[in-house]
Amino acid sequence: MSIPLRWYCASLHRHHERDAFAHLRRMGFESCIPLVLREKKRSGRTSFVHSPTFPGYGFVRFATDKAGWQAVWTVPYVKAILGQGADKPTPVPDNLVDAITAMKPQDDPRKLPCLINEGDEVEFLDGAWTDHRGVCLVPDNRRAQIAVEIFGRITRVEADVSSLRVVRSASEGKAA
């Protein structure tokens, strides 16, 4: 009688999740690392990277016989299999792993439709410009350039879209 394959949660060395699962796949184990799209800022530039949803953890499917157990333990970057002690791993329900692996990383936020349009009158919700109003000059999904009147002059200000509220839409010409 063979022992059925079950999913288990593996504790891994952080930032080495992909290395651990590359080793597991080469050894013939079914494994997965759920990924999420995260914003990363470096040297003033923003990029979007796929990183583990649960940093330091992943799922691996194996039989809990001695050969399967020891093979997983010998994989580089695997620290432990979660459970009730060193010799009693707790299986993760198949439907839970299926639901987690069915989730796809979000689409690239730069490709989402823009919420603020050119010519919209906007109000700043936070930051140095709180309660000031201006007109959107250059809309974007992440940041927008806003024309604000200061001391009788129009000044261009760049702000996160999340800190703006549309007061009047340019296309509709009425209050939002």
Domain membership of residue 175 (yes or no) is: no
* CA 86, 87, 92, 97 torsion-angle sign: positive
User: pLDDT by residue (tens digit) across 8-17?
Assistant: 999 999 889 9
- 84 and 14, same structural domain? yes
CATH at residue 73: 3.30.70.940
User: pLDDT by residue (tens digit) across 37-91?
Assistant: 787 888 878 787 888 888 999 999 988 776 777 788 889 999 988 887 767 788 8
- 145 and 87, same structural domain? no
Number of domains making up the chain? 2
Q: Which range marks the domain in which residue 13 is found?
A: 6-108
Q: For position 105, what pLDDT does the model report? A: 62
pLDDT of residue 113 exceeding 60, the answer is: no
CATH at residue 160: 2.30.30.30
Question: Minimal CA–CA distance to 141: which of 15, 48, 68?
Answer: 48
Domain membership of residue 22 (yes or no) is: yes
